[in-house]
């Protein structure tokens, strides 16, 4: 199979592989060359693949979409990091999503404040017109 992992700024992986293991919301799955065509939304985590030299490789990915069509497997992700060591990749992914989680909390807090301010202004406008 030909595996290509695409990020917004680069092609992270573009090589021949014999197997791809990934995780969707309903669990992990393995794709082999003769499997049927397949599409899946992937959860953030670790995608692994076996190259033609029978070496297992690991890629940490953010939310992604995987499409298998014939011998081509394409993964489009918003974040990705390649590494040879599973522990290192797992730690990097964990750190990345912890920092995203912190930023998400701050963003949600700012949005909630804006929404509350907007509602308060609507109430003020409604009171002024009565």
Give the span between the Cα atoms of 22 and 44, in whole angstroms: 10
Give the span between the Cα atoms of 110 and 101, in whole angstroms: 14
Give the span between the Cα atoms of 59 and 88, in whole angstroms: 10
Characterize the bridge pairing of strands 45-51 and 27-31.
unpaired
Spatial neighbors of 20 by CB under 8 A, at least 6 apart, are 1, 3, 30, 31, 47, 48, 49, 66, 68, 73
Looking up residue 118, the CATH number of its domain turns out to be 2.60.15.10
Q: What is the mean pLDDT of residues 86-91?
A: 71
Q: Is 10 in contact with 56 (CB distance < 8 Å)?
A: no
- The total of structural domains in the chain comes to 1
Q: Is 97 in contact with 44 (CB distance < 8 Å)?
A: yes
- Average pLDDT along the chain: 83
* pLDDT tens per residue, range 7-60: 999 999 999 999 999 998 888 999 999 999 989 999 888 899 999 999 898 898
Domain of residue 82 covers: 2-129
Task: Indicate yes or no: pTM above 0.85.
Answer: no
């Amino acid at each position: 199979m030909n595996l290509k992992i695409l990020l917004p700024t680069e092609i992270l992986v573009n090589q021949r592989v014999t197997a791809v293991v990934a995780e969707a919301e309903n669990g992990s799955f393995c794709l082999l060359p003769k499997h049927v065509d397949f599409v899946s939304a992937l959860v953030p985590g670790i995608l692994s693949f076996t190259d033609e030299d029978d070496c297992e490789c690991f890629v940490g990915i953010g939310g992604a979409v995987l499409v298998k069509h014939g011998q081509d497997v394409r993964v489009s992700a918003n974040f990705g990091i390649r590494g040879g060591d599973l522990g290192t990749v797992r730690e990097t992914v964990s750190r990345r999503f912890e920092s995203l989680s912190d930023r998400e909390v701050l963003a949600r807090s700012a949005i909630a404040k804006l929404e509350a301010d907007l509602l308060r202004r609507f109430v003020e406008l409604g009171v002024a017109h009565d």
